[in-house]
Structure 1
Amino acid sequence: MSKSSFQGTTRRGFLAGTAALIGAPAFATQPLPVQEVEVSQGYDPLRPPPVPEPPVRHNISSFQAKHWQPYFSNLHNGAILVDTQSRALHFWSEDYESHMLFPSSVPLSDEMTRRGRTSVVRKVKGPSWSPTPSMKKRNPEWPDYIPPGPDNPLGTHALYLGWKYYRIHGTHDTRKIGRRSSNGCIGLYNEHIAKLFERAKVGTQVLLI
């Protein structure tokens, strides 16, 4: 299965597609069948391929359809759930009609992982990037600023969260997806963050677990 096959679905399409795959209602709790995701070649100039985990072909065997109700009291402005264990991002639209599920990268360590509730406070297409003070301390050779473009670590789109320095963003280094590979942010394939960017809004609820 190619990475583009994780694109969002309407509730009707999701129900039909999930039932066809696993023979059970949508939002079932059992894992989907193991399917490999093609890994394309991209490169983030600021970081070599992720070191903590060996190079492998990613799969979606740990992905599970989820109900939104255990995590949110409502879908006002839509809702984003980031599951750092399964390394997946879920989005539910405010009108209850759309559920999107994407593979993601997660922070390198638990110390870098922030969990809890926040919201989208800013949306930027073609984001620029500057390292945080702690990043610069760990990596003094990194540049102070990278403009939008193919060398930018934030990829093509970024959703800025209420927590300072935390974002959900794209990446040009596709090897990061499905791995512990970030300095704290949540990364998606560029085509997936573009789809999420279209549907999420300033004020969309975000929960990291």
Structure 2
Amino acid sequence: MSRSGLTRRSTLLGGLTVLASPALLRAQEQPAPEGVRRNMSSFRTRHWSDHFDTLGKGAIVADIDSRALHYWSPDGETYRLFPSSVPKSDELTRRGYTEIVRKKVGPSWTPTASMRERDPSLPEFMAAGEGNPLGTHALYLSWPAYLIHGTHDTRKIGRRSSSGCIGLYNNHIEALFAQADVGTQVLLL
């Protein structure tokens, strides 16, 4: 290849870069469209004191908009951040303060009447195991039928995919399950 061919190509690419630069900069400065969050915002750290008066038995913030779950241990020494799945729609979303009232390894699943109404093909009951939508571990909240649980379907994490629950990868719910005790305060925001 001749030196002049390389120079023309370099000049052309350089010129296109200069012309495209203002457009690229403007695109980076544009806010995300309404309802769309940039990935970086999903994983910014939070501080428990922005949401709770004390740590008590520990604290969990499930941020539905950014699809992230934050956990603080009772002594404040441990902070964990997990990607999560969230409810499919605002109608299925419950927000506010609650707490963990029960923990279960190998949870069984009984779809609610409204879930079966939306999808009549759902079974009346599913035992623990592969294919169970609650995954390997579940943390039951004081609100009936609302849980923080695992999932065998890893495609759901980071998406609006649940019927009201907060879902985690099975290895993440196992880690959270080991750290979060009954009585841990929870905020879904």
Matched, 1:61 2:40: yes
How far does the alpha carbon of each residue in 1:66-94 deviate from its partner, in whole angstroms, 9 at most, with x for none? Answer: 11111000000000000111100000000
Counterparts of 1:1-209 in structure 2 under 5 Å?
60-62=39-41, 63-209=43-189
Higher helix share: 2
Distance in structure 2 (CA, Å) of the matches to 1:161 and 1:201: 12
Gaps of 5+ in 1: 1-58
TM-score scaled by structure 2? 0.78
Distance in structure 1 (CA, Å) of the matches to 2:180 and 2:106: 16
TM-score scaled by structure 1? 0.71
Distance in structure 2 (CA, Å) of the matches to 1:198 and 1:94: 13
Gaps of 5+ in 2: 1-37
Cα deviation, residue 185, structure 1: 0.2
Amino acid at match of 1:152: N
What is the DSSP-based 3-state SS (H/G/I as helix, E as strand, rest coil) of the residue aligned with 1:69?
Answer: helix
Please identify the structure whose Cα radius of gyration is greater: 2
The ranges of structure 1 where at least 4 consecutive aligned residues each deviate by more than 6 angstroms after the TM superposition are none
The number of residue pairs the alignment matches comes to: 151
Identity percentage over the alignment? Answer: 63
